Amino acid sequence: MRVLKEIPHHTFKITVFGMNAKFVIKIEWGQFEQTFKISELDLTAGLNDVERLLTDDFLRNCMIRFREMSTDFNTSFKQL
C-alpha cells in the first residue's frame, strides 16, 4: 500500500492510499479510524474524484460515527 496523497483537514487526518487497483481513503480522529475502498475503475478523474467525495456532509457523518465509536469503546473499556 502506498501513500498517494494527504488531504489537509482541521479535524481529521485524511490519507489516500493506492492498493490493488483501489483507492483506500483512511480518515483518522484520535485513536479511531474509518477506511473506505473504491475501485480505481469507478473514478474517471482519479484522485480528483476521491477529493470530491469528501464533502462536508460526508465528513460530518464520519464525525457522528467516530463519536459513536468512542462511546462504544469507552462503555466497553469501563467494564474491564
pTM for the full predicted model: 0.93
d(CA 59, CA 11): 10
Q: 16-62 pLDDT, tens per residue?
A: 999 999 999 999 999 999 999 999 999 999 999 999 999 999 999 99
Dihedral sign from CA coordinates of 73, 76, 79, 80: negative
Into how many domains does the chain fold? 1
Helix (H) or strand (E) holding 22, with range, is strand 22-29
What pLDDT sits at residue 16? 98
Residues sharing a CB contact under 8 Å with residue 28, sequence separation 6 or more, in sequence order: 12, 13, 14, 15
Domain residues for the domain of 66 are 2-78
What pLDDT sits at residue 59? 98
Q: Which long-range contacts (CB under 8 A, 24 or more apart) does 41-48 make?
A: 47/4, 47/5, 47/16, 47/23
What pLDDT sits at residue 31? 97
